[in-house]
Amino acid sequence: MTSPDLSIRDANLADIPSITRIYAHAVTHTVATLDTEEPTVATQTEWFRHHDERHAVLVADSGNTVVGWASLSEWSTKAGYSGTAEASVYVSPECHRQGIGTSLLQTLSSRARDVGLHVVVARISSTNETSLRLARRCGFRHVGTMKESGFKFGAYVDVDVLQLIPASPRT
């Protein structure tokens, strides 16, 4: 259950150390991301600078502590994909199963709709049942599996692709 003091807000540069800490845990301990190089504040700051009004970075804040984050990232630089973004959600390991991921992904999906994105895509390791359940709970639908498309911790990883087509803000 989500804590009553949880708030979801736009991230800012002061949040980068917390975002980095949360992401570093996912990189070094899980297949929630297929990144294999531990992030630094410098690399995450550069990543943050590639986001804008249309490609938001949000944080979940509880008691003035960032306990999770989510982002919409550009899917492709090709103009025909300008209405598509990729969603990412990460929660501090000590805060799992508290509804934070759901709050983040629901807010992110609403933001995607509000800025006029047509499709939001999520790529999730096929063994990551927690993230797959989260995405499905928030309306994402499975559209395919990329077999052995990643490699981490000495093994190939299948990646499920899910997508959400947010309702238009005008409907």
Each residue's pLDDT tens digit, 34-55: 999 999 999 999 999 999 999 9
pLDDT value of residue 20: 98
pLDDT mean over 26-35? 95
Is the torsion defined by CA of 133, 11, 43, 19 positive or negative?
A: negative
Q: Assess whether pLDDT exceeds 80 at residue 62.
A: yes
Q: Give the pLDDT band of residue 1 (cuts 50, 70, 90).
A: very low
Can you list the domains of the chain with their CATH numbers?
Answer: 6-164 (3.40.630.30)
117-152 pLDDT tens trace: 999 999 999 999 999 999 999 999 999 999 999 999
Which backbone phi and psi does 82 adopt, to 5 degrees?
-65, -20
